[in-house]
Amino acid sequence: MRRYLPTERSKTSCLLLTVLVIGYYLCDNLSLFSFMGRSPYGEICRLFFWSMMIVIVRRLPKIRPEAKIRHRSDIYYRAFLFAFIHIALWFCLGLFEGFGKNPFNTALSGILRNVLTFGPVLIGREWVRNHIARHGARKENYFVLIITALFFTLTNFNITRYSGLTDLQKLVQFMAQFFLPEFSRNLMATYLSQIGGTSASLLYLGVFEAVNYVSPVLPDLKWITAALVGIMCPVFSFIWMQDIYLREAGLVRKSKQDNESIIGWAVTCILSIGIVWFASGVFPIYPSVIATGSMEPFIKPGDMILVKKVQNMSDIEDIKVGDIIQFRKDNILICHRVVEILSKEDGLYYRTKGDNNSEPDPELVRTEQIRGKITQVIPKIGWPTLLLKSRDNIPPDELEF
């Protein structure tokens, strides 16, 4: 078992590098050091730090990559290939959803500056990644793999990105659009670094950086599309790369069960992402749980409803008397039936009423309050959600579902 465990010296060097990266990350992000920013001084400090990290790592004891020399050229080729496939798919989807101007200077002088500024940063991060990934565990270890990928993902975003996540919707969008794609790429890069060394992860990530700094236009995808591509491409690449490498290295035998495991991983990833996005309201139809009995007997407490989002005026015009709508009143979501539609000078208004209430709601509903129209009721499956929410300090008499 000792071959799977790092030595005390390895632990110390990994801890030293981690502390240095965290220290620089905090200095580069805290308001106390905000004078650096994107000024030439800040770029010089960034360049100096990561150049120093390259020197430090190169002087530390090294562990050779897990893959034997005869396999490494194939690993480099596949690292480039997987990155190329990812970018090709990204640009193909741009043909359907459009392109935008590259925010970086793509003139020759701008490209040279980007290479000089971001090149040492990329190289330094990959040297540190390789040292932590290889010294954290001598053999393949998923815990070290995930923790290393998570560390480099967390330190890749400015602290202000985290402090701006003030509600669940922003958090979900940030996780799906930025954090999870970055984590997926870091997971693939860390695995490549473990088996093929720094050159493999540099080649993989370098392709992305080259496109970002050289291409005059970049795909301007909807965030849902960008999230799906950004997560699934690296995940599939990681699964496929691992399967190919283990077979070529003679660590596993080719079997039907191995093929089925890859398909199972892929299906599980797709379903997991789909469920999270569906539950968080990413798709045009989203779920919601009813808390009170104002719509009994048609909808009872604990029932789950599927709500079709109102996204434009045509969706508003489709709402008729008798439809059940979900609308927001203050901070409460209410699901009541439309009993009358009033046309006034400033727009449409809706009179609503709970089926189990004796009187219509005292206030009319404006179009901007409407979130969607209920399309389906699924009995009882929302009870676990109600139990989890029972600790919230919301007075029951304020809920008018």
Q: pLDDT tens, 214-225?
A: 888 899 887 777
| Spatial separation of the C-alpha atoms in residues 189 and 79, rounded to whole Å | 9
Confidence band for 176, pLDDT divided at 50, 70 and 90: confident
| Spatial separation of the C-alpha atoms in residues 311 and 370, rounded to whole Å | 10
Which residue carries 């079997």 as its tokens? 255
Task: Give yes or no for residue 143 having a pLDDT over 70.
Answer: yes
Closest CA to 288 of 384, 382, 172: 382
User: Which has the minimum average pLDDT: 1-5, 73-77, 177-181?
Assistant: 1-5
* Strand pairing category for 332-344 and 324-329: antiparallel
pTM score above 0.85: no
Question: 335 near 369, Cβ under 8 Å?
Answer: no
Q: Across residues 321-350, what is the average pLDDT?
A: 88
Q: Where are the domains of the chain?
A: 2-279, 285-398
Q: What is the CATH number of domain 285-398?
A: 2.10.109.10
Confidence band for 277, pLDDT divided at 50, 70 and 90: low
- What pLDDT, on the 0 to 100 scale, is given for residue 139? 58
Long-range contacts of 136-140 (CB under 8 A, 24+ apart): 136/6, 136/10, 136/14, 137/4, 137/5, 137/6, 138/3, 138/4, 138/5, 138/6, 138/63, 139/3, 139/4, 139/66, 140/66, 140/194
Average pLDDT of the chain is: 80
